[in-house]
Structure 1
Amino acid sequence: MSIKIPDEFPTLKDYLDWLFKKYNTPEFINSDPVKFVHRFSNPKDMEIAGFIASLLAMGNRKIILLSSERLFNIMEDKPYEFVLNFDPFWYEKILNNFVHFAYRNIEGKDLLVVFYLLKQALEKYGTLKNLFLKHYDEKHPTIKQALSGFVKELLSFDPPPKFNGIPESVGGLIPDPEKNSPCKRLNMFLRWMVRKDNVDVGLWSEVDKSKLIIPLDTHVSKISRGLGLTQRKTDTWKTAEEITNNLKKFDPEDPVKYDFAIFGLGIELKHGY
């Protein structure tokens, strides 16, 4: 599939810049999982809300939002307090009936483990940002090393009682870029936390937005191939890096802003976003 740029735009950059301005608006928020970040004003709540909402961001968008709403109801809209005081024994039955029907179902038992890991992270570091910054080095060309360190340490915490280690399914929810996973949802979470504009909240200003990597899923990869931003046939971390590096030709300081443009292009072409 080759995507033709409309005649009124001299270059691909002009077209992508136009799409970015069109879709990077406050109106975007209510139809996107980022809405759960904007629900809160306390940065501690915002980053936990973002992390949890990003984990569920797979599958149909309406189902993503409905499932997230159910989960935030369980948290009583107090995500930081909920995680910090999380009791796996108390919430085992409550979460037992939770299933997010995505491409791969996310079950309550997986979230039980995630919440318990996050609880230990908050007890040790106070915020997820502090954990991430421990592994962040501005000398690194991208956030890959920092994200890998963040994931490895998060998964190194103790599993809840009754669990014999961290389930493989949880490793799938919180993947390591060193294993060549595209880490779509984690990169989306980082986009929310690092960039600051009409949609992204920019809580982690210590991280250079030029080091972010495009959140890569099947829609983004399909459109990126159609635009000639990658020749790779599989959706991997290397593919996400290649697309990002090509987007840097249009904006070296903020390449991931074009995530909005690619999303918008999917709508313009009616690819079912």
Structure 2
Amino acid sequence: MKLQIPREFKNLKDYLDWLFKKYNTPDFINSDPIKFAHRFKNPQDIEVAGFIASTLAMGNRKIILLSNEHLFDLIGDKPYEFILEFDPFWYEKALNNFVHFAYRNIEGKDLLVIFYLLKQALRKYGSLKNLFLKYYDEKQPTIKQALSGFVKEIFSFDPPPKFNGIPESVKGLIPDPEKNSACKRLNMFLRWMVRKDSVDLGLWEEVDKSKLIIPLDTHVSKISRALGLTQRKTDSWKTAEEITFNLKKFDPSDPVKYDFAIFGLGVELKEQN
């Protein structure tokens, strides 16, 4: 599939800039998992809520939002405190039931492990930002090295009692870019935390937004190929990098802002078919 740029636009940059303005509005928030991060005012609550909501951003969007609603009913109005005080034994039964009101590919035991690992990370570093900044080097061209260190550190902590190591299913939910995973959900979380506008929250001011990598989901992947932003046939970290580097030609300081444009166009075209 190849998309033609509408005649009223001189080039692809003009078209993407128009799409960005169209979709990057506060109206976007309520139909996206980012809305769960927007519920909170405390920065520590925001980043914990954002990490959890982005981790569950897999599959159908309506189910993603519904599953997060159920989970945040359990978490309550203080996510940071919930994680700091998380007792895997106390919540084991409640989280085991998660699979019945969410979806099959993320189970309660996966969340139990993630929450327990996050608890240890927050107790050691105080915030997820502090953990990420430990590995962040502004001299690096992208956040790949920092993200890989962030993931490895999370998995260096102990699994919950009764678990013999970290399940592979959990490692699939928090992938390492060094293994060439596109890391869609982690890159989306970083977009929320680093960029700042009417949608993204911009809490991590120490991180340069020009180093972010686009969250590569089905819509972004398909539309990017149709627009000639990548020649790669499979979705991977290298594919996400190639798309991002091509988007830098249009905005070197903020290439990932076009995530809104490409994703929004993908959703719109899908609804038309």
Q: TM-score range by the shorter chain?
A: over 0.9
Deviating runs (4+, > 4 A) in structure 1? none
CA–CA distance in structure 2, aligned partners of residues 219 and 271 of structure 1: 12
Task: Show CA shifts across 1:96-149 (max 9, x none).
Answer: 1102655x6100000000000000000000000000000000000000000000
Residue in 2 aligned with 1:180?
Answer: 180
Shift of 1:272: 7.6
Report the identity percentage.
83
Unaligned runs of 5+ in 2: none
Shift of 1:72: 0.4
CA–CA distance in structure 2, aligned partners of residues 69 and 46 of structure 1: 15
SS of equivalent to 1:270: helix
Residue in 2 aligned with 1:199?
Answer: 199
CA–CA distance in structure 2, aligned partners of residues 53 and 268 of structure 1: 23
1:93 aligns with 2:93: yes
Residue in 1 aligned with 2:140?
Answer: 140
Aligned residues: CA RMSD: 1.2
Alignment of 1:100-119 (within 5 A): 101-102=102-103, 105-119=105-119
Shift of 1:267: 3.2
Residue in 2 aligned with 1:241?
Answer: 241
Kept after mapping to 2: 8 A contact 1:266/1:272 = no
Matched to 2:21, the amino acid is K
CA–CA distance in structure 2, aligned partners of residues 153 and 251 of structure 1: 32
CA–CA distance in structure 2, aligned partners of residues 34 and 150 of structure 1: 21
CA–CA distance in structure 2, aligned partners of residues 86 and 176 of structure 1: 25
CA–CA distance in structure 2, aligned partners of residues 138 and 184 of structure 1: 22
Alignment of 1:201-240 (within 5 A): 201-240=201-240
CA–CA distance in structure 2, aligned partners of residues 5 and 270 of structure 1: 17
Residue in 1 aligned with 2:59?
Answer: 59
Kept after mapping to 1: 8 A contact 2:219/2:267 = no
1:157 aligns with 2:170: no
How many residue pairs get matched? 272
Q: TM-score, normalised by structure 2?
A: 0.97
Shift of 1:59: 0.7
Unaligned runs of 5+ in 1: none
1:266 aligns with 2:266: yes
SS of equivalent to 1:57: coil
Shift of 1:218: 1.8
Residue in 2 aligned with 1:122?
Answer: 122
Matched to 2:146, the amino acid is A
Task: Show CA shifts across 1:203-225 (max 9, x none).
Answer: 00000000000000122111000
CA–CA distance in structure 1, aligned partners of residues 270 and 166 of structure 2: 40
CA–CA distance in structure 2, aligned partners of residues 251 and 149 of structure 1: 27
SS of equivalent to 2:110: helix
CA–CA distance in structure 1, aligned partners of residues 38 and 61 of structure 2: 17
Shift of 1:271: 5.2
